[in-house]
Chains A and B, each alone.
Chain A
Amino acid sequence: MSPDIHDIITNRLALVSKVKDVMISSLNLELEPDELAEDSQLFGFGLGLDSIDALTLIVGIEDAFGVHLPEDMPHVLRSVNTMADFLMEKGVQHAH
């Protein structure tokens, strides 16, 4: 594995881990981090979250990472991975 790929994976996994922790704690999910697949859909199929959960999650993410997450960005709140994509686009590092 090249150093570049190693760095990509290391940084991404650290951010994903932090997103999972924020999600589990802010929504009081009865899940351990390894019981939450990174691509599981958050609403409907998948975790079955609702609109109140969405607002709670937005507040949790904003507080944890110091970003503003507009409510009109439905592609962000699809999975742990799509939230991590958004945070990376905003230049967020896992250790905010």
Chain B
Amino acid sequence: MLIDRVQSAAPLPAGAEEDYRAIRTAAGITDVSAMGKFHLRGAAMEALDRLVAGNLNRLMENSIRWTAILDEDGRVVADVQVYNRFDSYLVTCAPAQRAAVAELLAALGPDDEVEDATDTLAAIAVEGPLALDIPHAIVGMDGSGLGLLKFVDVDVFGRQVLLSRIGFSGEYGYVFFLDPADAPQLVERIVEVCPAARVCGPEIQDRLRLEVRAYTPASHFLRGETALQAGLHWMIDFRKDAFQGRDAVMAEKAAGLVRRLLGFTLDGSAVPAPGTPVTDGADAVGYVAAAAWSPALERTIGLVYLDEAYACVGVPLGVEGGALRTVSTPFLTTQSTRAAAR
């Protein structure tokens, strides 16, 4: 039945609308401590480079690489952010992937080289157009001018805190990694220096990320698609001699992709459920991977897997509940992006 697979534009959960507005127009503070956090030292660092698809040998000190761990079929097992501290790596991942990443990393070395710091290290994220000024307000010059995907050790409340410039909403974004006991005090301090900042829950994150097509497993994968089909080429170093899944990646590249993930917008306010077929006339040519109502764009946006012959921007297609058109992504140019370009 239609109603089973096509939903109306459901309102955001209580509080999430204010969270969304804070992150898109001011600043939102989110406790992201549940993300997986691991310290790697010694030989485990080299072993990690042989595992991930990105090239860690080219990762500068105090820089972050967002890459993926693939399986032998070229599918993404987990995406990880690797922080290069010169004599160690901090590896982070989404909460849902913590167990899988912990198992993979544990195989890379003994306990003194691979340490799960998830429960001993808190992480407080602040994102939004006003977030740019927050690090400087809290830690002075040490926190200003930090480039995207860079990090620095700073002093907060007399203790060493890792401050990183990383975010997932397309706005200015920072994450403070610190002692869990200091986290509540840091949140208070952020609100003190930026009164417009709002403490946010996690519910709105997927929608914020979809608007800028930031990667999440839930929005990019539905039926065992590969990293290349999902357009995650940027997580892969194709010049790297060896990494898990490389043979599959190169074979798929040589053979050509059979499907590809594209953005779409939809006429009307219906939000098709993942898996909803996409058609050209009577022919099924793909399926919806993810969709949501975008408050900023005031329309339904989403990602769709299309057969390679149709995998192109500007194509009008059909879906239950409306007519869709494939479009370029990111869908939204954020306030922070516009400000950075000035």
Listed in ascending order, the chain A residues whose CB lies under 8 Å from chain B are: 1-2, 5, 8-9, 12-13, 30-32, 34-41, 43-48, 71-75, 78-79, 81-82, 84-85, 88
Contacts and interface: CB of A to CB of B under 8 A. Distances in A.
Interface residues of B, number: 34
Given A72-B341, A78-B330, A85-B313, A39 B262 contact: yes
Residue among A45, A71, A75 having the largest count of chain B Cβ atoms under 10 Å: A45
A42 B103 CA distance: 33
Interface in B89-112: none
Residue among B231, B236, B313, B329 having the largest count of chain A Cβ atoms under 10 Å: B313
| Interface majority SS (helix, strand, loop, mixed), chain B | loop
B337 interface: yes
Interface string B220-238: 0000000000011110101
A39 B231 contact: yes
17 contacts: A1-B310, A12-B314, A13-B312, A38-B313, A38-B328, A39-B231, A39-B330, A40-B231, A45-B66, A72-B342, A74-B341, A75-B333, A78-B333, A79-B329, A81-B328, A84-B328, A85-B328
Nearest to B232: A37
A71 B236 CA distance: 30
Residue among B148, B338, B341 having the largest count of chain A Cβ atoms under 10 Å: B341
B315 A74 contact: no
A77 B72 CA distance: 34
B228 to A, nearest CB: 8
Contacts, number: 87
Interface of B: 66, 148-149, 213-215, 231-234, 236, 238-239, 253, 262-263, 280-281, 309-310, 312-316, 328-330, 333, 337-338, 340-342
A74 B212 CA distance: 13
B149 A48 contact: yes
A8 to B, nearest CB: 5
B313 A12 contact: yes
B233 A44 contact: no
Given A35-B236, A74-B340, 9 more contacts: A8-B312, A8-B314, A9-B310, A31-B238, A39-B213, A40-B231, A40-B233, A48-B149, A81-B328
B231 to A, nearest CB: 4
B313 A74 contact: no
A50 to B, nearest CB: 8
A75 B233 CA distance: 21
Contacts of B310: 1, 5, 9
B151 to A, nearest CB: 14
A72 B340 CA distance: 10
Given A81-B328, A84-B313, A84-B328, A30 B231 contact: no
Contacts of A71: 341
Contacts of B236: 35
B307 to A, nearest CB: 10
Contacts of A36: 233
Contacts of A2: 280-281
The 3 A-B residue pairs with the shortest CB-CB distance, nearest first, are A81-B328, A74-B341, A37-B231
Given A44-B149, A46-B234, A34 B253 contact: yes
A81 B329 contact: yes
Contact of B329 (A39, A45, A74, A84): A39
Contacts of B314: 8, 12, 88
Contacts of A38: 231, 313, 328
A75 B280 CA distance: 29
Contact of A41 (B315, B316, B330, B338): B330
Contacts of B263: 39
A74 B337 contact: yes
Contacts of B340: 74
A79 B328 CA distance: 8
Given A36-B233, A82-B328, A1 B309 contact: yes
A2 B329 CA distance: 25
Given A8-B314, A74-B333, A35 B280 contact: no
